Amino acid sequence: MHTPHYIDGRWVEGLGDDCISVFEPARGQPFAELRAASVAQVDQAVAAARLALPAWKNTCPSERASLLRGFAIQLDQRREALLAVQMQNNGKPRHEAEIDLDDAIATFHYYADLAEQLPGKNRDVPLAAVGFSARTRLEPVGVVGLIVPWNFPLVTSAWKLAPALAAGCTVVLKPSEVTPLIEQAYGQIADTLGLPPGVLNIINGMARTGAALSNHKGLDKLSFTGSNTVGSQVMRSAAEQCRPVTLELGGKSAILVFDDCDPDQAVEWIVAGICWNAGQMCSATSRLLVQDGIADTLLPRLQAALQKLRVGNPLAEEVDMGPLTSQAQWHKVCGYFASAREEGLQCLTGGQALDRDGWFVSPTLYADVPTDSRLWTEEIFGPVLCSHRFSTEQQAIALANDSAFGLVATVCSADLVRAERVADALEVGHVWINSVQAVFVETSWGGTKGSGIGRELGPWGLSAYQSVKHVTRCLG
């Protein structure tokens, strides 16, 4: 049994009703248990964050920057332990767990830099009016609730924690009940660095713990990453309290492959875009739009590449793809395989669970999927790729944009002028040209349409935790 809650600078036992079993997806077996936080403990965490706010928001930004650098250094020092938890609990191959850890480290360094630049952002505002002067003051939003999912827990939490702390906010973080262990590192690091009690609180629990936090009247803002279903509940609760909310939700993103591509290079990008993290990426490019002239060359090579992937237990063997992270996700993906069979979709490879212990499925490719199929329109969150042919650039753009989501897209073409033109026409938050899933802390993250509200990363990620105040004086 773990002691999983970090409230007001102390580790405490959960007093909630829910008992959380933590699984190793490669074996389908539990390896840890913890008791969820009670509603009263959620109250305590929010109260601690409120109490810590006045002192924390008035710390010198350079002090906050040095603490954030401390987080980055400490994450690196815990590298082996953090990789092991991600491999065991998420089922991530080692090289992917390393990418996640390095991303989290880079995020803390980046927001340390931005924190140091904060004093220079409070500056005079030139006014056209005579007799007045004004200045801008960027202030922290206040106490923020951070709710995150299980697919990239270390990273998703870093993308929220680092800018929130840099801005001078105090936080209550709720990790996913599927992966509740990894974020405990943030509490341990806070202890090691001597972060003032209450600045960072971590509470674990299931949906009802999340709801207790997102409905809490003591928050000034909520930042949520997760499904559209829960995101809309979180938004409803924010609306009732007229409180700002950032939402990072689902996706059904397109990868557009034009005739002039090198087919082998395109196959590499396509496979990475759907099989990294076993396809459990909000940004998975799960709709392949392939131009008529290259389709017959590309699809057999893609089929062969997917069949060659080594799928297995990342703790036991060298693998390209691990299992799905939860049994619920495995059932969901298998449900889509059943739907595809009912719809009579043409399956070029995969389309089934692997016959072994653990929550494994085969990398899957369906060809010529109709655009009204639920496999084409709904987020599956697994290594399941649907392809569809197009003939003209205009058609490709229209097909890509015909989605309720708008998170990302990838454009593959040797004609860079065309690629840039297509990138500009796509209704998404982030486009990759001839690359795949490369996320840099300096660029933004977030989507249009059903993929959410607001942006993380870059200066926009910091602004999400800041409030703008102007002080205007009469020179009179």
User: Which residues are designated catalytic?
Assistant: 248, 282
Strand pairing of 405-406 and 245-248? unpaired
Contact in structure between 327 and 285 (CB atoms under 8 Å)? no
| Sign of the dihedral through C-alpha 102, 108, 112, 118 | positive
Whichever of 118 and 144 has its CB closer to ligand NAD, that residue is 144
Residue 176 binding ligand NAD, by CB under 6 A: yes
Strand pairing of 124-125 and 132-140? antiparallel
Give least dist CB 249 to ligand NAD, A: 5
Residue 452 binding ligand NAD, by CB under 6 A: yes
Residue 168 binding ligand NAD, by CB under 6 A: no
Q: Which stretch binds ligand NAD (CB under 6 A): 12-20, 171-179, 260-268, 301-309?
A: 171-179
Closest residue to ligand NAD, Cβ-based? 210
Strand pairing of 245-248 and 221-225? parallel
**What is the C-alpha separation between 145 and 225, in angstroms, rounded?**
11
Residue 379 binding ligand NAD, by CB under 6 A: yes
Give least dist CB 192 to ligand NAD, A: 25
Task: Please pick, from the candidates 234, 235, 299, 369, the single residue that binds ligand NAD as defined by CB under 6 A.
Answer: 234
**What is the C-alpha separation between 105 and 78, in angstroms, rounded?**
11
Residue 230 binding ligand NAD, by CB under 6 A: yes
Residue 274 binding ligand NAD, by CB under 6 A: no
The span from the first CA to the last CA of the chain, in angstroms, equals: 67
Binding mask 385-414 for ligand NAD (x = CB under 6 A): ----------------------x-------
Enter the tokens of residue 243: 């409180």
Give least dist CB 36 to ligand NAD, A: 10
Q: Which stretch binds ligand NAD (CB under 6 A): 172-180, 291-299, 353-361, 392-400?
A: 172-180
Task: Please pick, from the candidates 188, 227, 241, 463, the single residue that binds ligand NAD as defined by CB under 6 A.
Answer: 227
Residue 471 binding ligand NAD, by CB under 6 A: no
Site for ligand NAD in 193-212 (CB under 6 A): 206-207, 210-211
Give least dist CB 230 to ligand NAD, A: 3
Q: How far is CA 175 from CA 95, 153, 255, 449, in A?
A: 23, 7, 30, 25
The position carrying tokens 């830099």 is 113
Give least dist CB 326 to ligand NAD, A: 8
Task: Please pick, from the candidates 103, 116, 177, 320, the single residue that binds ligand NAD as defined by CB under 6 A.
Answer: 177
Residue 214 binding ligand NAD, by CB under 6 A: yes
In the DSSP assignment, the letter for residue 26 is T
Angle, CA 164 vertex, CA 162 and CA 168 arms, to 5° = 115
Whichever of 100 and 248 has its CB closer to ligand NAD, that residue is 248
Enter the tokens of residue 133: 């002067």
Q: Determine the angle formed by the axes of helices 39-57 and 207-214, rounding to 10 degrees.
A: 40
Q: Which stretch binds ligand NAD (CB under 6 A): 143-151, 195-203, 263-271, 316-324?
A: 143-151
Compute how many residues bind ligand NAD; rule: CB under 6 A.
30
C-alpha closest to that of 396 among 236, 262, 319, 288: 288
**What is the C-alpha separation between 11 and 33, in angstroms, rounded?**
16
Residue 354 burial by Cβ neighbours in a 10 Å radius (0-12, 13-18, 19+): middle
Task: Please pick, from the candidates 71, 381, 390, 432, the single residue that binds ligand NAD as defined by CB under 6 A.
Answer: 381
Residue 14 binding ligand NAD, by CB under 6 A: no
**CA–centroid distance for 202 within its chain:** 18
Give least dist CB 231 to ligand NAD, A: 7
**What is the C-alpha separation between 312 and 67, in angstroms, rounded?**
39
Whichever of 14 and 312 has its CB closer to ligand NAD, that residue is 14
Whichever of 24 and 177 has its CB closer to ligand NAD, that residue is 177
Enter the tokens of residue 297: 């060359």
Contact in structure between 326 and 277 (CB atoms under 8 Å)? no
Give least dist CB 460 to ligand NAD, A: 13
Q: State the DSSP H helix or E strand holding residue 387, giving kind and residue range, or none if neither.
A: strand 384-390
Q: Which stretch binds ligand NAD (CB under 6 A): 1-9, 225-233, 347-355, 466-474?
A: 225-233
Whichever of 280 and 349 has its CB closer to ligand NAD, that residue is 280
Residue 251 binding ligand NAD, by CB under 6 A: yes
Residue 282 binding ligand NAD, by CB under 6 A: yes
Residue 221 binding ligand NAD, by CB under 6 A: no
Contact in structure between 14 and 37 (CB atoms under 8 Å)? yes
**CA–centroid distance for 278 within its chain:** 15
C-alpha closest to that of 205 among 327, 371, 36, 58: 36
Residue 233 binding ligand NAD, by CB under 6 A: yes
Enter the tokens of residue 64: 């906050």
Residue 150 binding ligand NAD, by CB under 6 A: yes
Binding residues (CB under 6 A) for ligand NAD: these are: 147-151, 156, 174, 176-177, 206-207, 210-211, 214, 225-227, 230, 233-234, 248-251, 282, 379, 381, 407, 451-452
